[in-house]
Amino acid sequence: MCFPKEAIIYKISRLITKAALAMAFVAGAAFMAIPANASTIDWTLSGVTFNDGGTASGTFSTDSTTGNLIAYDITTMGGSSTLTGVEYKTATGFFASNVFVSNSFVMQIGPTLRYLEMAFINPLTNPGVDQLVPGKLNNNGSSTDLSGSWESNNSSLLRNVVSGEAVSQTPLPAALPLFAGGLSALGLLGWRRKRNGKAVLAAT
């Protein structure tokens, strides 16, 4: 039995549509199985102010599982104290996480012994807004409470963070583009199927 060309095209289109539907379901399942957080969370400092009127701005990244610091590019600006502003960057400094307190990291600029400590109320494992813990050091360096946020020049000159936060957007799961692509392909093939179906009906 010989089938019209339009009927053959229609059958092939149905097979492709079924394959696209299967692909969309697989991508959708992967999308649902992946956690909302990616492996790295990117943060932006907002409203960070020191007690001398200076400020800090910039970005940093943390591991979404441990909250540990991965990379950073933070610049501080001088205030009324003699502590001048500097730039802390991954490539030119040293850093460590949770040295003096949990949910924190401290950065050092090379051999100059310039330090910046950022301590947060919550772990840096979930995107959103995380408030900085204010600094608790005395201006003369006599206090040994290093559990807050502060900047220091080898403890001879120091200033406390008095306000500020870090803000992060929730990253898109890796499977989302695949899921969207599958749905788009499904819509296109459904349109072609409908069009070819009309052609077959017209030919019979």
- Per DSSP, what are the bridge partners of residue 104? 119
Cα(7)–Cα(14) distance, integer angstroms: 11
Cα(39)–Cα(34) distance, integer angstroms: 11
Residue type, 100: F
Cα(53)–Cα(159) distance, integer angstroms: 10
For residue range 51-69, list pLDDT tens digits in order.
Answer: 999 999 999 999 999 999 9
Query: Which residues, 6+ apart, have CB-to-CB distance to 112 below 8 Å?
Result: 153
Residue type, 66: T
Cα(135)–Cα(127) distance, integer angstroms: 23
In this prediction, residue 151 carries a pLDDT of 95
Cα(162)–Cα(178) distance, integer angstroms: 44
CB distance 94 to 116 below 8 Å: no
Residue type, 42: D
For residue range 67-103, list pLDDT tens digits in order.
Answer: 999 999 999 999 998 889 999 999 989 999 999 999 9
Q: Which helix (H) or strand (E) holds 77?
A: strand 69-77
Domain edges within the chain: 40-167
* Sign of the alpha-carbon dihedral angle for 122, 127, 131, 135: positive
Provide the terminal-to-terminal Cα distance of the chain, rounded to the nearest Å. Answer: 15
pTM: 0.66
Average pLDDT for 141-165: 86
Residue type, 146: L
